[in-house]
């Protein structure tokens, strides 16, 4: 999926390094990660892919709009974020 520069910048602001996520689903036939697996965002690249280290030791890019995930917490807050679904086809809980 192609993201323009402004969308990628918003992704970087929305999911800074240290953001905790829970994967809801991933459509990757070669290296899927099980639903419910939690991980930490390391960084967001220039096309908006979230590069994460999961608690099971795996590292993989999560593609907003292709993969579904929920934000558990952000680095500046220990409280789980709750917001309605937003752009990029992501489920946010």
Residue of 27, 90, 23, 92 whose CA lies nearest to 56: 23
Whether the per-residue pLDDT at 93 is higher than 50: the answer is no
Least confident of 13-17, 27-31, 74-78: 74-78
Tokens encoding 91 = 């489920």
Domains and CATH numbers, the chain: 5-74 (2.30.30.100)
How many CB atoms within 10 Å of residue 87?
11
**Please, what's the largest Cα pairwise distance for the chain?**
34
pLDDT digit string, tens, across residues 54-86: 999 999 999 988 999 999 999 975 444 444 444
Tokens encoding 71 = 């934000």
How many CB atoms within 10 Å of residue 90?
20
pTM over 0.85: no
Are 42 and 65 in contact by the 8 Å Cβ rule? The answer is no
CA dist 56 and 39 (Å) reads 8
Average pLDDT, the chain: 83
């Amino acid at each position: 999926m192609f993201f323009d520069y402004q969308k990628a910048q918003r992704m970087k602001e929305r999911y800074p390094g240290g953001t905790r996520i829970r994967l809801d689903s991933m459509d990757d036939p070669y290296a899927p990660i099980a639903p419910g697996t939690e991980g930490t965002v390391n960084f967001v690249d220039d096309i908006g892919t979230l590069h994460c280290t999961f608690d099971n030791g795996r590292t993989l890019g999560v593609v907003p709009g292709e993969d579904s995930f929920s934000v558990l917490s952000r680095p500046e807050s220990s409280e789980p974020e709750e917001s309605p679904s937003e752009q990029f086809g992501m489920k946010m809980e």
